[in-house]
Amino acid sequence: MTINTPDERIQQPYSRVLLKLSGEQLSGQFDSGIDAEFCAWMAEEVKKVVDSGTQVIIMVGGGNYARGAQLAGHGIRRVTADHIGMLATMMNALALTDIFESCDIRTRCLSNIFAEQVAEPFVHRLANNHLKKGRVVIVAGGIGRPYLTTDTAAVSLALELDCQAVLKATKVDGVYDKDPAKHADAVKVSTISFQDAVTDDAIKVMDTAALGLALEHNLPIIIFDATKADNILLVTQGNAVGTKIH
């Protein structure tokens, strides 16, 4: 693996970012479902970013309820399993929207699956307008098609909305050259290439489709610990936090 140093991060803040929150993130201290207390804390973290002038769009995962790849089988077709997965992201997006609003953050939930009784449909211009007005946009339903994950949906949406980076929130502080749980001498890397992220088996931060799309369009992805206070703000201000894939 190539470890690129010195770090070459931007020194000025990003003006628009896509924050990817997995279902696992939203379940906080629990094994599944939503940890509302943790989500409220996360809302306050995002508020700092919005108040600093950076526009934020959030793609939520659904793995705390269902993942298509795991659900498929025993008569459940993969397409149906992915539909269920997308509905799981909808549950997270609705809950997170309410929690954000209860924290006085102007927020809109836009859905990429048809569900007009519960959320506005995702429309490019509408999302753009909300963001320009300083509202947080939370996207439900991934990209609305099966055989994809919300990581790939996140990259696709970040490109569609001219985001300068995808911030992938995790519970670890970045990417290591080997599994830190198994190797005491594992070293955190500050930057890695898309090539390494795809080919190095020790690095499993995102699915290949997501990385391939980001690589093709030169969209940086930052893997960082979002459970640490101020980290989201620090990343959006261009500080060296986590690992940057570029």
Q: Site size for ligand UDP, by CB under 6 A?
A: 23
Residue 220 makes contact with ligand UDP by CB under 6 A = no
Out of 49, 95, 142, 221, the only residue in the binding site for ligand UDP (CB under 6 A) is 142
Using the contact rule CB under 6 A, the part of the chain among 5-13, 139-147, 174-182, 183-191 near ligand UDP is 139-147
Output the smallest distance, CB 22 to ligand UDP, in A.
Answer: 3
Out of 54, 55, 89, 236, the only residue in the binding site for ligand UDP (CB under 6 A) is 89
Q: How far apart are CA 37 and CA 31, in angstroms?
A: 15
Out of 149, 190, 231, 236, the only residue in the binding site for ligand UDP (CB under 6 A) is 149
122: DSSP letter? P
Contact 97, 138 (CB under 8 A): yes
Residue 28 makes contact with ligand UDP by CB under 6 A = no
Q: How far apart are CA 57 and CA 161, in angstroms?
A: 9
Residue 88 makes contact with ligand UDP by CB under 6 A = yes
Any idea how long the chain is?
246
The burial class, CB within 10 Å (0-12 / 13-18 / 19+), for 78 is: middle
Using the contact rule CB under 6 A, the part of the chain among 99-107, 140-148, 198-206, 226-234 near ligand UDP is 140-148
Computed on alpha carbons and rounded to an integer, the radius of gyration of the chain in Å comes to 17
Identify the three-state secondary structure at position 51. Answer: helix
Bond from prior residue into 6 cis (ω within 30 degrees of 0): yes
Choose between 98 and 207: whose C-beta lies nearer to ligand UDP.
Answer: 207
Using the contact rule CB under 6 A, the part of the chain among 17-25, 94-102, 118-126, 179-187 near ligand UDP is 17-25
Out of 17, 22, 50, 100, the only residue in the binding site for ligand UDP (CB under 6 A) is 22
Output the smallest distance, CB 143 to ligand UDP, in A.
Answer: 4
The vertex-189 CA angle with 185 and 193, nearest 5°, equals: 135
150: DSSP letter? H
Contact 105, 58 (CB under 8 A): no
Structural element, H or E, at residue 30: none
Tell me, residue by residue from 50 to 79, as one string, x for binding to ligand UDP by CB under 6 A and - for no binding.
-----------xxx---xxx----------
Residue 86 makes contact with ligand UDP by CB under 6 A = yes
Contact 167, 17 (CB under 8 A): yes
- Interaction site with ligand UDP (CB under 6 A): 22-24, 61-63, 67-69, 82, 85-86, 88-89, 142-143, 145-146, 148-151, 153
